[in-house]
């Protein structure tokens, strides 16, 4: 590895192309840490937003009128406001109203930090779209399927969990794929509240080394690969769940 590091040092000396996150151990550590923070943030947001989408789609068909109104209000609120504004609202408005805790150095800090608020905010943002995605999938399930399950004595919850939701997922996967891809790209907004993800660390590196062009090209390529892996996985999942003649 030292030969590779030395080659990139020579590349900088000879051409001015500066990639310190490869040959400098400190910058390399920062970038690796930022990458894993991005992956961690993305995975948590993906999982929570899908859970919110499934739960919201279930509650949209609730026999209780106010339950349906609350879900619809949540959807309209998070679909009709910018995600950055939502992130600031959670972090600066709600975060300041929560109690503080004593840290290891004896100071006071918010009970929830920037990472937690980023997960909450982005999950609710993407979850609002996922509710509508799962709802569209549920509406594609034939009424006769639900009627047959009711005739067999299935409860409303078990019909949703065991019959309509598995069928709805197959229909909703293309739209869900698109929304989850957008969610991974939207995680870069966590930079705005100092979550040390990739964009934040890249900014720190180019501030120290004045190599904005190189860092932005690198960031573009990394996100291209990261999102490409997600798309590949979702497409594999879609093909695995495909039922001939259903959802076509």
Tens digit of each residue's pLDDT (9 = 90 or more) over 222-242? 999 999 999 999 888 888 877
Geometric angle at alpha carbon 10, from 5 and 16, rounded to 5°: 115
Residue 131 inside a domain? The answer is yes
Tell me the percentage of the chain whose pLDDT exceeds 70: 98
**Would you call 109 helix, strand, or coil by DSSP?**
strand
Q: Rounded distance, CA 194 to CA 118, Å?
A: 10
Q: Rounded distance, CA 82 to CA 189, Å?
A: 11
Residue 221 inside a domain? The answer is yes
Residue 236 inside a domain? The answer is yes
Q: Rounded distance, CA 235 to CA 240, Å?
A: 9
Residue 117 inside a domain? The answer is yes
> 243, 69, 233, 71: which is closest to 141 by C-alpha?
243
The residues that bridge with 101 in the sheet, in sequence order, are: 109
- As a whole number, the mean pLDDT across the chain is 90
By the 10 Å C-beta count (0-12 exposed, 13-18 middle, 19+ buried), 71 is classed as: buried
- Find the domain containing 194 and state its range: 2-241
Tell me the percentage of the chain whose pLDDT exceeds 90: 56
Residue 248 inside a domain? The answer is no
Residue 111: which residues within 8 A CB-CB, separation 6 or more?
98, 99, 100, 101
Number of domains present in the structure of the chain: 1
pLDDT of res. 77: 95
Residue 166 inside a domain? The answer is yes
Residue 92 inside a domain? The answer is yes
**What pLDDT, in 10s, does the model give residues 54-106?**
999 999 988 889 999 999 999 999 999 999 999 999 999 998 888 888 777 77
The DSSP code sequence of 160-206 is IIIIIHHHHHHHHHHHHHHHHHHHHHHGGGGGGGT--SHHHHHHHHH
Residue 15 inside a domain? The answer is yes
This prediction's pTM: 0.89
pLDDT of res. 244: 66
Domain of 192, CATH number, reads: 1.10.3720.10
pLDDT of res. 246: 56
pLDDT of res. 247: 52
Q: Rounded distance, CA 118 to CA 114, Å?
A: 6
């Amino acid at each position: 590895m030292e030969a590779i590091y030395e080659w990139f040092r020579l590349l900088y000396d000879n051409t001015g192309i500066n990639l310190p996150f490869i040959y400098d151990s400190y910058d390399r550590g920062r970038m690796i840490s930022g990458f894993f923070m991005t992956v961690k943030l993305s995975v948590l947001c993906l999982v929570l937003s899908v859970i919110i989408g499934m739960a919201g789609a279930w509650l949209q068909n609730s026999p209780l009128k106010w339950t349906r109104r609350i879900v619809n209000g949540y959807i309209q609120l998070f679909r009709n406001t910018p995600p950055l504004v939502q992130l600031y609202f959670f972090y600066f408005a709600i975060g300041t109203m929560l109690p503080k805790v004593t840290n290891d150095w004896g100071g006071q800090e918010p009970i929830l930090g920037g990472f937690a608020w980023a997960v909450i905010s982005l999950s609710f943002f993407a979850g609002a779209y996922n509710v509508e995605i799962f709802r569209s999938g549920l509406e594609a399930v034939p009424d006769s399927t639900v009627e047959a399950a009711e005739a067999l004595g299935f409860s409303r919850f078990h019909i949703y969990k065991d019959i309509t939701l598995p069928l709805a997922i197959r229909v909703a996967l293309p739209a869900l794929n698109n929304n989850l891809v957008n969610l991974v790209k939207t995680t870069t907004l966590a930079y705005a509240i100092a979550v040390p993800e990739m964009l934040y660390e890249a900014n720190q590196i180019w501030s120290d080394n004045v190599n904005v062009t190189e860092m932005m090209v690198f960031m573009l390529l990394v996100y291209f690969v990261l999102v490409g892996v997600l798309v590949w996985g979702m497409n594999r999942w879609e093909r695995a769940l495909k039922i001939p003649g259903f959802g076509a």
